[in-house]
A = this chain, B = another copy of it.
Amino acid sequence: MSSVIQQGLMITLIGMGLVFLVIIFLWWLMGLLVKVTTKAEVSVEEPEPAAISETRVPEMAAIEQLRRAAAAAVSVGLTIEARSARRRQVKTQADGGMSPWQSVHRAQQLEQHNRRG
């Protein structure tokens, strides 16, 4: 095996190894971050807790409900209409590269802006 191929294999080994190492570190960091910031919000009573601790649970629940509602609608036979409605919905999300969470977030942001403004 030529030396350059050996180099290549070496780089592959180190490169992919480091990628996984960094990613695993990020995994740990993300878990830690979520845990710490969530705890911080529960324990510390900050001056403006509403503004900062605003979590996304309710919205997520809402969307989950929406999803379930759509599913139920389908199951009772409104398949085609619901499907097209859903598709439109999914398409809309897709177009702007926005998840439902993002759009909820946006709405929140707008609302907050209004509240502030």
Contact = CB atoms under 8 A, between A and B. Distances in A.
So how many copies of this chain end up in the complex?
Answer: 3
Contacts of A116: 91, 95
| Interface residues on chain A, size class | under 10
Contacts of A117: 91-92, 95
Contacts of A91: 116-117
Interface string A104-117: 00000000000011
Nearest to A92: B117
Interface string A74-95: 0000000000000000011001
5 contacts: A91-B116, A91-B117, A92-B117, A95-B116, A95-B117
Interface of A: 91-92, 95, 116-117
The 5 nearest A-B residue pairs measured at CB: A95-B117, A92-B117, A91-B117, A95-B116, A91-B116
